[in-house]
Amino acid sequence: MFRIRDIAIDPPLVLAPMEGVTDLTFRRLIRSIGGCGLTVTEFIPAGQLAGKHRVALRTAEFDADERPVSIQLYGRDPELLADGARYVQDLGADIVDLNMGCPSKKVCAHSGGSALLRDEALARRIVSAIRGATTLPFTVKMRAGWDPDHRNAPEIAAMCEGEGVEGLAVHWRTRTDGYGGTRTLQTIRDVVERVKIPVLANGDITDAQTALDTQRQTGAAGLMIGRGAIRDPWVFRRIACALVGQPPLQVDDDERERVLLAYYATVRALFDSDKGALGRMKKIAKYFCDGIAGGEPLRQAILHARTPDEATEQISAFFAARRHRLQQQPDQQTQHHA
């Protein structure tokens, strides 16, 4: 475990904020499975949260027992970000987080997200304004730099620490890498060696082995997991077992079916329309089914579903067929040996 000020992150594994994914429903799913030490909301425009816009308030919702929980803000105006941080504290969150990592063209075009890595003066004003506005523990999520030739995360990290930031998450990719690039963890290690506050390593941590390799190569206090958690919601428990030397976690088809159907049920309850619910079901299916051996037919069936009922029926039919095939195999083997 590690601590952000007096908040224990145990296990030292954090669910990364992901736009359109880490809403309250998905965070509930991850918490229900276990192994995650901290959850973070989707990023929220600070001005909209301070202005109590409906969508921003909904994005900031968290359960009373979702502890510890961090609310992530983004923007470019120091005063609005300060106002947003005050409101995060009023909401009762445990941690306020600043996004310096989003590579979105829309966000970067307005000097938010990873664009702040190119403007240290503005980044410093923002960090200082947030620190002065709230007594909450304050963290920053960033990328390694703007492009491969400008990996300035260590310098930005040192500035953040000097301004009172108490924890950092660093993705090995630069902004121009998007979701590609050549994996290199040296910049994260450089940040770890540059600052005294806890550093989370982020980027392509998808299983126990990549987690152990990342931790060993970076020396990070903890790990932040994003898309790997969509593909395999059990990834936190798998990694938690590996970190303490326990046997690998085994997840059978019954558990996969139960979790997917339960998640879809909560999605349907969250959305006001079947169209919205079905859209979210299809989005998750693209990732979730990649984690199932032979899951491509299920993914296609869900993507072609016309209603939420049809999507859930396809899930039940898929796993029923798999169970039937497995039941037939012993009989076939017995007949073969006879």
The C-alpha atoms of residue 149 and residue 197 are separated, in whole angstroms, by: 26
Residues ≥6 apart with Cβ < 8 Å to 4? 95, 137, 139, 166, 167, 198
Q: What is the pLDDT of residue 332?
A: 52
Of 177, 168, 180, residue with least CA distance to 218: 168
Of 69, 77, 78, residue with least CA distance to 97: 69
Q: What is the pLDDT of residue 108?
A: 67
Q: What is the pLDDT of residue 334?
A: 46
Q: What is the pLDDT of residue 330?
A: 60
CA 260, 263, 269, 272 torsion-angle sign: negative
For the chain, 338 residues long, give each residue's pLDDT as a single digit of tens. Answer: 999 999 999 999 999 999 888 999 999 999 999 999 999 999 999 999 999 999 999 999 999 999 999 999 999 999 999 999 999 999 999 999 999 988 777 776 666 888 999 999 999 999 999 999 999 999 999 999 999 999 999 999 999 999 999 999 999 999 999 888 889 999 999 999 999 999 999 999 999 999 999 999 999 999 999 999 998 999 999 999 999 999 999 999 899 999 999 999 989 988 889 999 999 899 888 888 887 888 999 999 999 999 999 999 999 999 999 888 878 766 555 455 44
Annotated catalytic residue: which of 36, 102, 108, 160? 102
The C-alpha atoms of residue 239 and residue 17 are separated, in whole angstroms, by: 19
Cis peptide before 11 (omega within 30 of 0): yes
Of 130, 146, 219, residue with least CA distance to 178: 146
Q: Is 108 part of the annotated catalytic residue set?
A: no
The C-alpha atoms of residue 189 and residue 194 are separated, in whole angstroms, by: 9
The C-alpha atoms of residue 338 and residue 167 are separated, in whole angstroms, by: 64
